[in-house]
Amino acid sequence: MLSSKSKVGVQNFGRLLSNMVMPNIGAFIAWGLITALFIPTGWIPNETLSTMVGPMIKYMLPLLIGYTGGKIIAGERGAVVGAIATMGVIVGTDIPMFMGAMIVGPLSGLAIKKFDQAIHGKVKSGFEMLVNNFSAGILGMILAIISYMVIGPAVKMLSTALAAGVDVLVANNLLPLTSVFVEPAKILFLNNAINHGIFTPLGIAQSESLGQSIFFLIEANPGPGLGLLLAYMVFGKGSAKQSAPGAVIIHFFGGIHEIYFPYVLMNPRLILSVIAGGIAGVFTLTVFDAGLISPASPGSIFAVLVMTPKGAYLGVILSVTAAAVVSFLVASLLLKTQKSVAGDEDALEEASNQMRDMKQGSKGQATASAKDMSAVKKIIVACDAGMGSSAMGASLLRKKVLAANLNIEVINTAINDLPGDVDIVVTHKDLTDRARKHAPNAQHLSLSNFLDNAMYDNLVKELQAAQS
């Protein structure tokens, strides 16, 4: 297993990759819809409108990624320089440069950030705008030339090598084994990094040539999580069984896959069920030669079906079904053969929370006292992307806070965007260490399920008692 420090490092790197793509998912969907509708094999073939497909994938999408990558590191100046440098990798090769954009975007942001730090306080009054504009232009030009001559060709070689490796996996029917690595990585909250940082670039290249790609459904297939949650509905115990039906709706129809991660983390051997489901789903896709046109984000069954090309519906639907059935059967077997009594899962979670509180107390991070609770004005439920699981948790907690007539703001956000004025941060226990770095002065509460009613009820009771 990864150490806590290594896990945080991997998650931070994964967050950088996914955060370059996720803000631009709308553009990917637009490209996918235009492709699905207007190419010669689409639903409404149109020779004129289909001419947008090539320029969008070659220029628009990589430029958006490079712009966003630079902005993450150095704001608007980083975004502009990132876009300039990305143009270098685009023109320097003849393949879609998503991987190149993911490299040069953040590097450009870092370069302009270091430059700004080096000249800070050294520019004479009245010359600030001149220096800012010319520094961004000159640095952008240099980086674009380097991208054109060095980074672009290097990324093309890497892409060619990866494509060759994929061909070997496909030729030897080994592609389903990717689930052995993908599913455990998802449980560590690396799902967005895997889907948007790895599979999206590979899938876009394949989709451009074949009209569809299997890579868009390796991580995004909702089947494995659906099967696991259905097994909990039938054979689970305690709060896990009670919350599973709501999680099924959120996961399968809402596309928020993070909702099922805690169900695996509370019973780690169930990772075998989602791995088996993932293998079954990918195998079915290979048998029927099916895939999606563009990324399905979020991974809702609705998004999956919208991004399915005209001739691939049977394979895609059977892939989701096979993944769910296999995952359900394996999870059911593991749950039925587990030696436990009703309530053990709740007791285990309660004991884990108590142990974590004791550890925090020994490090000077004890849970807030009644005096601390009396001053609470803002609570943030945070997750990796700040959208799916944290939005659900914040909505649940907000309703309880309003019902208790407490004048406390409850919102959700990404861990990386935590503000300095937050009083309490609620996040998953695997993400708490990262959250502490971004909000060191806040009290941090950890949970294993963002729909943990008991935890929210206890928090609201403490707040009521302190603020009454």
Residues annotated as catalytic (active site), given as ranges: 383
Count CB neighbours of 3 within 10 A: 8
Phi, psi of 386 (to 5 degrees): 75, 20
- 269 touches 257 (CB < 8 A): no
CA angle 240, 246, 251 (to 5 degrees): 100
The conformation of residue 414, written as its DSSP 8-state character, comes to E
Q: Which of 461, 463, 464, 433 is nearest to 446 (CA)?
A: 433
Q: Which of 288, 318, 89 is nearest to 201 (CA)?
A: 89
Residue 292 CB-half CA count within 13 A: 33
Tell me how far CA of residue 218 lies from CA of 11, 92, 268, in angstroms.
Answer: 20, 30, 21
- 316 touches 290 (CB < 8 A): yes
What one-character-per-residue DSSP string does 289-312 give?
Answer: T--BSS--SS--HHHHHHTS-TT-
Q: Please list the alpha-helical segments (H only) found in 196-312.
A: 200-210, 223-235, 238-248, 261-265, 271-288, 301-306
Helices 98-119, 61-91: axis angle to 10 degrees equals: 90
